[in-house]
Every structure is written in structure tokens, then in C-alpha cells.
A and B are shown apart, each in its own frame.
Chain A
């Protein structure tokens, strides 16, 4: 069965370095999974296209259809690559707003590869002091390597000891391993009585009166 990797990119320009980084991570993860005999597909969510809908969701309380579809694709994926530009020392506001309109429980146990980009490598720790706590709060499971790309990584003055390609390869391998270790992600219907009552239970259990509580 094919696994699906959701790729969330919060880049704003077109072409976007964030998206370029996310695409490379996605391709490398698919390749790593292939060496393990696992077929995988990539499902990209460009937040720029959803920016107005994300704001509307914040204000009106519900996700318009295109955003709801995007959220469903993220929370039902087998793995997530989350890529954001670093603005003012942290993930972008758009990236955080998207996270804010996802049910806080929906990413529990989700293998995540964290990725970020900025003008210089001086922002690289933002992955660990900003993104990682966010995903820890959500009970997602980010792999230990986060991949940061500075502008220089795309050309001259790139890191020659640990070049971007090797960092991508390492992060992708960790994500592929995390996905391979897990069963395919199953999505529980929140409107199924088995989900909100517990299997085979009745409203009487919620009232606290029935045995087996």
C-alpha cells in the first residue's frame, strides 16, 4: 500500500526557497522509502494559496472547503514535512496560523521532518527552539534532525563540510525510518460512537453509572 507524505510549505515568494527545500526533502524521503520497498507519494500543501482561508477560519471558526481539504490531507498523512521561512527569529505567522486551525490532537504520533530557511545560517537554531517545541506540544514526533537551509546553501559559500545535500539525506532517512516503523495511519471518525464513547460503550458509561467504567 502506498504511503503518503504531506508537505506543508509556508514560503511566500514564487519560486520559494522554502518550497525548494521542502521538495528536495520530499524526493529524498520517497527515495529512502523506496530502498526499503515502500512506495510513497508526495502531497504538497502551499499555504500561500490558503492564506485568506486560514484567516477566515481564525475569524469565523470554520475551515472553508479548500482549507478543510488541506487540513484533512495533512492529518491523514503517514508523515509530514513541515517547512517554513524564519521570520523575526521564528516560524512565519502564516505557518503558525495554519497549525492553529488544525485540531490540537490531530497530529498526535505523526512523524515529522522539520525544515526551515532564512537568509543566513545564524537563524538555524530556530528549528530547535521554535518549531520543535510546537510539535512537541502537539504530540507529534519530529525526527531528531531538522534541516535548515540558508541562502548560501544554494550556491557559493555553501557549507562544504556538511553540505545541504547530506543534511537533506540524513533528515529524509530519519523520516523514512519513522514512517517505515509505523503502520499506515488510520483516521478515526470523531462522529463514530466507538470513538467518543469507547468501543461497545453506551451513554450510561458517560453518566458514570454502568459497570466496566
Chain B
């Protein structure tokens, strides 16, 4: 089903002590809870569940595709996404394989948000240097694209072992790779990267004043047009957000304040009132949240995806599920209506696998990759799949894909 806007939640997967009870959930409990939360996201009529990736306590989500696959098997409609996938320290080959696999298992209900993480030591833990963070994000993503787009990849870069005649398996579902968003909170080069490829841009929109994200999104939209993917208004924008709701706004503030005051990242800093004024955090009645988020497009333009952070800072499962009930029951239906009003026709709908498949194949049959009998000998002319296009050398001059101009590689 195609929709103009997708709504959902994103979780950083923190396991945090509940400041009102002093209890910290076990990993087993929190992991079981996240599955319950994700299923409830679908039950209340939201569209997206996105999960972070971390490799240290107090987080649990070291292995997002495992979790997302399990959630995918327990849901039928929910789009599974990431928040974010560490394009810097993960091997792009493994990302290509894992998420293509997840596509197949979930019928294409997968997209990714690329990010660079927020924990410095992750770089050395995975053998990288944080000072190369941006260079890694750029090179690794270029390789990831190639692995998804070409059946056979010859590749050599600065950071990873070279590949000769490598095929990433399984091939993307229907021959269409997952949609990719690029997330950044401060780096214009990442907005540029998203624009260059015609990918989406996701602004976390939680920790900083909106003016900051406005600059990044404006840049992304302008550059999206510059690289010839459409008008600035046709660029694909996702926003984060943060809300806590109760029928009466005073109750919401009273309930949420201890969690805010002790929250990881911003706890013990600005007051709840200051933080609400400076960032999109909205603690109050459902109507206040509707008003705040219906206005987002005035700052960022009409956009495609709105995710909320609702399960962090030690909030107990019961509270999180109640928040989802309010979001799905009272807030999002109104937001869908309000954001559809006066939405220009040229603004694209939120990306889905079905829409992306239709854009490539129309009503025709999609690609179904069937290995040849060559036994995985990728260097044999003819390629690893029965339908692999035969030895068309990569376009060289004037390619939209910069590296084609000088890097040595051959597509089969």
C-alpha cells in the first residue's frame, strides 16, 4: 500500500534504569519488550519500526537484522528500518548481504538509514580510525551500492580488502535494492552524498534546534536538484521527533519529567521546558503534539517519513505501549490528514518496495535471480546468474557515478 507519509518509531535500544522505580530491565526483558513494541507499532496502524545499532552497553542492538527479521516474521505490514546502520565500521559486503537477505524474508519491507554512530571507540573496536569516519562512509557506501546493483564486482578501495569477481548473495529482492536514507546531524557532506545518489535524507531532529536541521535539509534538497534527480521539493526527507503525551498536558509533564531529567544524552542539562522550546520534543496533550508536528513541513518542506522516539530513558513497556496507542489512535490519523492538505502533487509518496519495483518494471515481471550451473565461477563469461547481462563494460566517461571514470572495474 502506498501512502504519502509514513509514520513510525525509532529506537536507540538503550537499556536504562527507570528513575521512578530504580529498576533496570535485563537484556532478555528489554529485547523481548522491543519485539512487543514493534508489533504494537503495526497494531496501532503505524508504518515503520526503525532500530539503532550499537556495540556496547547499555544498548542491546548489536545485531539489527536478527531482531528486524524476527519482528518481520511477527508482522505483516510494518516497514523495518534502521536508526542507524554503521556504514563506517561495518563491512559493506556484510551490509549488502544481510539487508538483501532481510528483504527476501520480509517481502521487501526493508529500508536503511546510514549513519556514522555516536560512540568513538566503535572505530578502533572494528579496526578503523575515527578520523576517517567521513571517508569510510563515502567509500563503503559506494561499494555497498555496487554490490547491490551489479552481480559481479571487481573493486579496490582504501579501506577494505579488494574484491575480484565477487557476488553478494542473495541478490536484492526483485532486483531492487532496499531504499536508503542517509542520516547526519552535522555533516554537510552526508547531505551531499544523499543528494548525489538520489537517496533519502533523514534528520534525527531530536537533539538539536530545528534550525540546524533546516540548513542540512535545505542543502540536501538543493543538491538533489543539482544532481538531476528532480526538483528540490521532490527530494525524499525523513524526520525524527520526540513526544510524550497524556490527556492533560500537566499530567504528561509530571509523568515524563523524571525520565527527561535522567535521560542519557541530555539528562541533567537543559530543563524540560528549555529543551521543549529549543528542540522538537513535545510533552503535552495529543493536540499539542499534532500542532507541533503538523507545522514541521513549514520548516522542512513536505516530507515522507516521521519517526518518533518513545521507548528510551527507562520508560517502562506499559507506558511505551500507551504512548503508541495515543500516537496511532489520536495523533497520526490527524497528522496524515493535515499533512495531506495542500500537499503539492509533485511531492513523491514515501518510498516502498512495491513502488520502487513498479518504477523499474511497471506491471512486467521482476527479476528473479537463478544461479547458472557454473558453480559460482563468477569469472566465467556469462556470469553467475542465468539472466546476468553479459560483459557490458562499465560506462566510462561522463558517468553519473564518479568513480567509474578512473577506478578499475568491470561489470558483467
Contacts and interface: CB of A to CB of B under 8 A. Distances in A.
Contacts of A202: 196, 402
A62 B280 CA distance: 14
Contacts of B207: 60-62
B389 interface: no
B405 A204 contact: yes
Interface in B255-276: 265-270, 274-275
A34 interface: no
A203 B406 contact: no
B121 interface: no
Nearest to B222: A193
A59 B406 contact: no
A210 B397 CA distance: 10
B402 A62 contact: no
Contact of B138 (A64, A193, A195, A206): A206
A203 B402 contact: yes
A196 interface: yes
Interface in A177-213: 190-191, 193, 195-197, 202-211
B212 interface: yes
Contacts of A58: 269
A27 interface: no
A97 interface: no
Contacts of B188: 190-191, 193, 195-196
Nearest to B227: A203
Contacts, number: 86
Interface in A103-120: none
A211 B269 contact: no
A209 B275 contact: no
Contact of B193 (A56, A65, A203): A203
Given A204-B403, A206-B189, A207-B142, A61 B270 contact: no
B405 A56 contact: no
A59 B266 contact: yes
Contact of B403 (A59, A195, A208): A208
B208 A61 contact: yes
A90 interface: no
B71 interface: no
Count chain B CB atoms within 10 A of each CB in A56, A61, A195, A203 and give the residue with the most: A203
A145 interface: no
B174 interface: no
A203 B192 CA distance: 7
B192 A56 contact: no
B25 interface: no
Contact of B269 (A60, A203, A205): A60
Contact of B192 (A61, A62, A193, A209): A193
A92 interface: no
B269 A210 contact: no
B225 interface: no
A62 B405 contact: no
A62 B275 CA distance: 11
Contacts of B139: 207-208
A193 B265 CA distance: 30
B200 to A, nearest CB: 16
Nearest to B223: A193
B309 to A, nearest CB: 15
A64 B211 CA distance: 11
Contacts of A191: 188, 215-216, 218-219
A60 B276 CA distance: 13
Given A61-B266, A207-B138, 19 more contacts: A56-B270, A59-B266, A59-B270, A60-B265, A60-B269, A60-B275, A61-B208, A65-B278, A191-B188, A191-B216, A203-B193, A203-B227, A206-B192, A206-B193, A207-B139, A207-B142, A207-B403, A208-B407, A211-B405
A-B pairs, 4 with minimum CB distance: A204-B402, A59-B269, A209-B403, A209-B402
Interface of B: 138-139, 142, 188-189, 192-193, 195-196, 207-209, 212, 215-216, 218-219, 223, 226-227, 265-270, 274-275, 278, 401-407
11 contacts: A60-B265, A62-B208, A65-B278, A190-B188, A191-B188, A196-B188, A203-B193, A207-B142, A208-B403, A209-B401, A210-B402
